[in-house]
């Protein structure tokens, strides 16, 4: 995994852990369902989307709002990687 994606994973993990602590959830693994463990509800989901758009310069399209994209830290990181891939490719072509 690239340094950029390591940083992305850590920022997502930090966001999720803050949400977890607010809900009295003590630990969350990267594979664990954020809905099943009580960390992610509709309000937290909208906060997460805002966080991703503001901090990672991506746009979450309505059609991309699917459980499989946001069910765990791993799923969120994979989703962000797919969103950032075209940008990285374009930057390489321009360099």
As a whole number of angstroms, the distance between CA 95 and CA 92 comes to 5
Alpha carbons 29 and 17: distance in angstroms, whole number: 10
* C-beta separation of 69 from 76 below 8 A: yes
Kindly report the CATH number that applies to the domain delimited by 3-94.
Answer: 1.10.1200.10
Where does residue 24 fall: left (phi above 0), alpha (psi -120 to 50 degrees), or beta otherwise?
left
Task: Render pLDDT for 17-51 as a digit per residue (tens, 0 to 9).
Answer: 999 999 999 999 999 999 999 999 999 999 999 99
Whether the Cβ atoms of residue 60 and residue 73 lie closer than 8 Å to each other: no
- pTM (predicted TM-score): 0.87
Instruction: Calculate the average pLDDT of the chain.
Output: 90
Residue ranges per structural domain of the chain: 3-94
What's the confidence (pLDDT) of residue 4?
A: 86
């Amino acid at each position: 995994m690239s340094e950029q994606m390591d940083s992305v994973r850590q920022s997502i993990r930090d966001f999720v852990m803050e949400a977890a602590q607010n809900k009295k959830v003590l630990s969350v693994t990267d594979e664990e369902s954020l809905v099943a463990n009580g960390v992610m509800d509709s309000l937290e989901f909208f906060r997460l989307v805002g966080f991703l758009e503001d901090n990672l310069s991506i746009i979450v399209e309505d059609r991309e709002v699917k459980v499989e994209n946001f069910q765990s830290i791993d799923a969120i990181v994979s989703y962000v990687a797919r969103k950032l891939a075209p940008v990285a490719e374009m930057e390489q072509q321009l360099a």
